[in-house]
Amino acid sequence: MIYKFFSIFKSITLIFIVSFITVCNYAQTTTEHENLFKNISGNERIDSLNKYASNLTRSKPELRKSIGKESFELAKKANYNLGQIQSLFNIGAGFFHALERDSALFYYKKSYNLSKASKNEIWIMNLSMNLGQTYSDKYQFDSATAYYNISLENANKVKDTSAVGFVYNSIGVTLWKKGEFDKAIEFYKKSLNVLIKLANDRRIAISLNNIGAAYYQLGNYNIALEYFIESSKYRKKYSSLNSPVLLNSIGLIYLELQDTALAFNYFTEALSNAKTLNSILGQGYSYLNFGDYYFRQKKYSLALEYLSRAKPFYAELKDQNGIAKILNRIGLVYLETNQIQLAEKSFLAAYKKSKINELKQSEIESFINYIRIQIQRGEYDLAKVNLENTYIKAEKQNLSDSKLQILSLHSTLYEKISNYKKAFYYRNLYEKLKESLFNEKSLRIITDLKEKYEADKKEKENISLQYQNNIQKLEIENQAREKLYIIVVSIFSFFVIGYLIYLNTLRKRRNVGLLLAKKEVEIINKKLNETNKQLQNLNSTKDKFFSLISHDLKNPFGTLLGATQILKNEDGDLTEEDKKELIDIIASDSERLYALLENLLFWANSQTGKLKAKKSEIELYPIINDISNLLKSNAENKEIKIMLNIPENLMINFDEFMFSTIIRNLIINAIKFSFRKGKITIEATENGNKIHLKIMDEGIGIEKENLHKLFDEGSAFKQNGTEKEKGTGLGLILCRDFMKENDATINVESELTKGTTFELILPKVE
């Protein structure tokens, strides 16, 4: 009984304390503004209250709401439309800063509708901007984009350049959240151009940081780092402390580049600055990155400690995406330390939070992690179904990294149940997707570097033009000064005429010097342009060489390793047919690898100038007939006939080795791109002191816009054969170089589905 009485007393006391605190807070909030602007009345007081509320910091959302509500009631009684718009806006802003997004939307929309009714373009612009930001925070991107477009349209109407820059940046943020980083960069750069004209250092720093963050997500770490450092320079103009978010971003780049010491230093400075600035986001982000840092160092207890520290900061920010990310990372720590039940609990919590808040990417990531546990437990059938369903979702959301993880898990699953054929199938899909993503990333990095190179070049040209303008200005000033001297001196005496002649002589000498200097500059510029072209050609050659080594050599080796690994680990489950299929794969890729290496070595030698033509008299028919017979088995595999229509005793002046290489490559190409049961015709005719040799197939043909790419080593154009045969494009580059070395010409004509004709115009023996 006594215990029951004590419990009731305790509850009543708690209710009293809470009520007392609430009343005190309300009284304090009311006291803060109830006496504001009592000496003025009417619309002037409403405007003053709204202006005061608008200038309040983010840390006082309740006060802003309270003043907004009071001014709204006054404006409503006075039937003051603009006052009502501003009051509702302040109430919405109060809810927004209190992280109550739904309530913020309600008041923003009421204010927006009043603005539309009164056709107030400035407030339509402001409110549609705030509505866009609120929808973006709620991950409702279509609604956010619609309101941002309205805001942009009205900002242009009222010619508010600052607002245009802000909206561009906000659209970029929304695209970044959607994972469309290329488009985000486009809008961030539009915003940056506007802000540079306005000389707004604070927002320029933010814009540069945003561009860097987008490049980081695209994997272009060098350009990302340049933007982050540039952002840091602008921030130093108005703040002695660097942004914790910016420092964390730089630390993440160094973490990706395996420079753990620098990454640690940046994370440490970021955390210190965040504590000094009392930045909730800065502290949470720093602890999260320290968690990742220690996870990669395999220091799991420290990783768990820092991830746990990050969690309350993201909870305070009500950042559901950040909380889901932390739960996933904690789950991975538990998985690595074999604490399966804790890992499962963490992954499912992340999945539930992501699903409730419609965080698609986080939802898929959480479920993939949960499937890892299912595979580890041996729940293979369930894991198989979940992997298939999750892959469909990842494909729908265009999440390439998630698709890679799913394909890898598919391969692992089938290896565990000894279904090596399926395991190899999914491993092959994984490698193809990985290569495709690598190619996209490489192309994007090259494009970004080219864009930066063009921008730097343009900047240097502008500096050069400024320099020339300054010279011209100085020359004009000199001429004006000389005229003044002439006028002044002529008044005094004829004696000064000699002095004027002397000055004129000096001017002529100076002009002669300037002309000589100008000619020297032109000669230097010409040499620099020639050197630049040579460097670009060398760079293109290097890029092609490394592309071939990193991609075209890697794929056959990957297939060979995969197939041989399966044969090595074979425990009797493979049938003879399976073994034969794997051996066929090894043989096919070995042949392709040998041909590629041979062409690669020839081409590398030709590029370095080591391979020079040793011309001799060659009879066409025997050498072409021999090569056709060597490739006969390749043609017969596709039931293709090779027809020779070459007169005997036709002689050419050519390097025999180079000619054989050219013919072999062209016949191999013709076989590759011919349809089964097709025909290849090789014919030669005399035309003056030239012999025209044609290799004609009846294959798939090539589109006209792609013909010029065949002989361009800088082009990424490739085309698979009629039966998915792969090539590198190097064979035709080699043909081009060998023909040029022998003072001969190669031409190509093609028509889709009808076939392709390569024509060699060769020097005839007289």
DSSP characters for 376-397?
HHT-HHHHHHHHHHHHHHHHHT
**Chain-centroid distance, C-alpha 745:** 41
User: Hey, what amino acid is at 303?
Assistant: A
CATH number of 615-763: 3.30.565.10
Which structure tokens are listed for 121?
Answer: 């373009």
The mean of the pLDDT values for the chain is 80
pLDDT at 367 over 60: yes
- At residue 447, the pLDDT reads 52
* DSSP helix/strand/coil, 614: coil
- What torsion, rounded to 10 degrees, do the Cα atoms 116, 122, 125, 126 define? -110
pLDDT at 3 over 60: no
* DSSP helix/strand/coil, 279: coil
pLDDT digits (tens, 9 = 90+) for 269-314: 999 999 998 999 899 999 999 999 999 999 999 999 999 999 999 9
Q: Residues of the chain with pLDDT > 70: what percent?
A: 75
CB count in 10 Å sphere of residue 505:
10
> What are φ and ψ of residue 615, in 5° steps?
-70, 145
> Is the separation of the CB atoms in 114 and 85 below 8 Å?
yes
Lowest-pLDDT choice from 500-504, 587-591, 727-731: 587-591
Which has the closest alpha carbon to 126: 158, 103, 98?
Answer: 158
Q: Residues of the chain with pLDDT > 90: what percent?
A: 25
List the helix and strand counts (H, then E) for the chain. 29, 7
* DSSP helix/strand/coil, 704: helix
What is the distance between the alpha carbons of residues 678 and 671, in angstroms, rounded to a whole number?
A: 9
What is the distance between the alpha carbons of residues 103 and 95, in angstroms, rounded to a whole number?
A: 6
* DSSP helix/strand/coil, 468: helix
* DSSP helix/strand/coil, 746: strand
pLDDT digits (tens, 9 = 90+) for 404-435: 889 899 889 888 888 888 888 888 888 888 77
pLDDT band at 1 (very low <50, low <70, confident <90, very high): very low
- At residue 289, the pLDDT reads 92
The residue with tokens 């030698």 is 605
What is the distance between the alpha carbons of residues 681 and 643, in angstroms, rounded to a whole number?
A: 5
What is the distance between the alpha carbons of residues 611 and 97, in angstroms, rounded to a whole number?
A: 71
pLDDT band at 587 (very low <50, low <70, confident <90, very high): low
What pTM, to 2 d.p., does this model score?
A: 0.51
pLDDT band at 441 (very low <50, low <70, confident <90, very high): low
pLDDT at 536 over 80: no
Supply the DSSP string of 355-379, one letter for each residue.
HHTT-HHHHHHHHHHHHHHHHHHT-
- At residue 602, the pLDDT reads 62
pLDDT band at 112 (very low <50, low <70, confident <90, very high): very high
User: String of b and e for 345-371 (b: at least 16 CB within 10 Å)?
Assistant: ebbbbbbebbeeeebbbbbbbbbbbbb
> For the chain, which residues make up each domain, given as ranges?
1-33, 615-763
More confident residue, 261 or 575: 261
What is the distance between the alpha carbons of residues 350 and 355, in angstroms, rounded to a whole number?
A: 9
- At residue 25, the pLDDT reads 45
- At residue 482, the pLDDT reads 66
Lowest-pLDDT choice from 64-68, 441-445, 532-536, 643-647: 441-445
What is the distance between the alpha carbons of residues 692 and 755, in angstroms, rounded to a whole number?
A: 19
The residue with tokens 């493979």 is 574
